[in-house]
């Protein structure tokens, strides 16, 4: 029994110690659970706050997403419209390119036809001009003479040249082109220019000489007709001055006095005589001046001077032509057209 009592005491002590340990452990667990509960509550509050922030961010993202989708829809519709317009433009461009291709094909075909016809005409022209094989030289010669003909025609029309210069240009340029292609010995453009200028200058010189000759003939006829005319009688009639009427010197006019000179007043007659003498001297000087200004000798002198000037001009024109002609001969070193035609 004692052993059992001792064992029971020992067990009671062990149980008491276990209860103490269990109570201490319970307290520790309760403390730990309290701390954990507090921490969980804090974490729950933080989680709620974070969840609210996330919700706000999601709402902002949703609003921005809606705006972005609306902007994307607008731009997509604009892109579709631009795409439709681009397709229309592409279709128009393709149609225009087809038309341009057809036009270019037609132009190329026309150019080929023109080239074929031009080759035929050029071959015929070369055969007509002597069978020259150099088509490029023939074409260059024709084109150069055509431009020279147009330039000289415009120049002659600009200076209002005579008809003979136009006819000479119309004959000279085609003839020189024909000689250049067939005989290979035509004149240069400078030579033809000098010849045309010489024709124009010669024509104007001939016209000036003819006008001078006509003027000289008319002057001689007027001189012959005017030699029998009385220059004194051609003067104007006397004008009455005061009580006395003067008489003019030269014997061609009437010399008389007015009836007032027949009075008996000697002083009055003496004053009239003085006036008569002064007027006679004035009329004599005036008639001398008029006679000298209308004298036949001065008219004949002017006509002689005009004739001499016309002769000098003709001499100058001939000298200029004599200076130009040797230069015309020296400008072409090869055989001249006249020698080629004669050979």
- Whether the pLDDT of residue 36 is over 80: the answer is yes
Give the model confidence (pLDDT) of 164-194 as tens digits.
Answer: 788 888 888 888 888 777 777 777 888 888 8
Cβ proximity of 250 and 288 under 8 Å: no
Mean pLDDT of 152-170: 81
Q: Is the CB of residue 260 less than 8 Å from the CB of residue 240? A: no
Among the listed ranges 12-26, 72-86, 195-209, 262-276, which one has the minimum average pLDDT value?
262-276
- Between CA 340 and CA 130 the distance in angstroms is 14
Tokens 């051609």 map to which residue? 234
pLDDT-above-90 percentage for the chain: 12
Q: For residue 187, give the DSSP letter.
A: P
Q: How many CB atoms lie within 10 A of CB 272?
A: 21
Q: Cα 15 to the chain's mean position, in Å?
A: 132
Positions of E strands within the chain = none
Element (H, E) at 239: none
Calculate the average pLDDT of the chain: 71
* Percent of the chain predicted with pLDDT > 70: 59
Measured distance between the N- and C-terminal CA atoms of the chain, rounded to whole angstroms: 184
DSSP label at residue 255: -
Tokens of 289: 């001046």
């Amino acid at each position: 029994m004692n052993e059992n009592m001792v064992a029971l005491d020992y067990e009671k002590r062990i149980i008491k110690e276990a209860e103490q340990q269990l109570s201490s452990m319970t307290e520790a667990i309760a403390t730990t659970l309290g701390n954990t509960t507090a921490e969980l509550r804090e974490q729950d509050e933080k989680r709620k706050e974070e969840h609210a922030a996330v919700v706000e961010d999601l709402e902002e993202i949703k609003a921005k997403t809606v705006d972005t989708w609306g902007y994307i829809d607008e731009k997509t519709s604009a892109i579709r419209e631009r795409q439709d317009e681009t397709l229309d433009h592409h279709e128009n461009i393709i149609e225009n390119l087809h038309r341009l291709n057809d036009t270019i094909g037609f132009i190329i075909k026309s150019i080929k036809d023109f080239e074929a016809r031009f080759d035929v005409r050029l071959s015929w022209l070369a055969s007509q001009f002597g069978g020259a094989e150099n088509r490029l030289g023939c074409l260059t010669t024709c084109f150069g003479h055509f431009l020279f003909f147009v330039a000289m025609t415009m120049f002659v029309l600009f200076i209002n040249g005579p008809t003979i210069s136009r006819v000479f240009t119309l004959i000279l340029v085609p003839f020189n082109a024909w000689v250049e292609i067939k005989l290979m010995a035509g004149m240069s453009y400078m030579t033809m220019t000098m010849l045309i200028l010489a024709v124009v200058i010669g024509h104007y010189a001939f016209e000036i000489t003819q006008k001078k000759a006509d003027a000289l003939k008319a002057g001689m006829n007027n001189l012959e007709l005017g030699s029998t005319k009385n220059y004194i009688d051609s003067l104007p009639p006397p004008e009455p001055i005061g009580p006395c009427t003067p008489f003019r010197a030269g014997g061609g006019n009437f010399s008389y006095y007015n009836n007032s000179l027949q009075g008996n007043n000697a002083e009055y007659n003496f004053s009239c005589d003085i006036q008569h003498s002064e007027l006679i001297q004035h009329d004599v000087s005036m008639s001398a001046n008029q006679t000298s200004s209308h004298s036949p000798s001065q008219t004949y002198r002017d006509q002689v001077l005009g004739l001499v000037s016309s002769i000098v001009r003709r001499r100058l024109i001939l000298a200029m032509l004599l200076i130009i002609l040797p230069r015309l001969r020296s400008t072409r070193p090869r055989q001249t057209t006249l020698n080629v035609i004669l050979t």
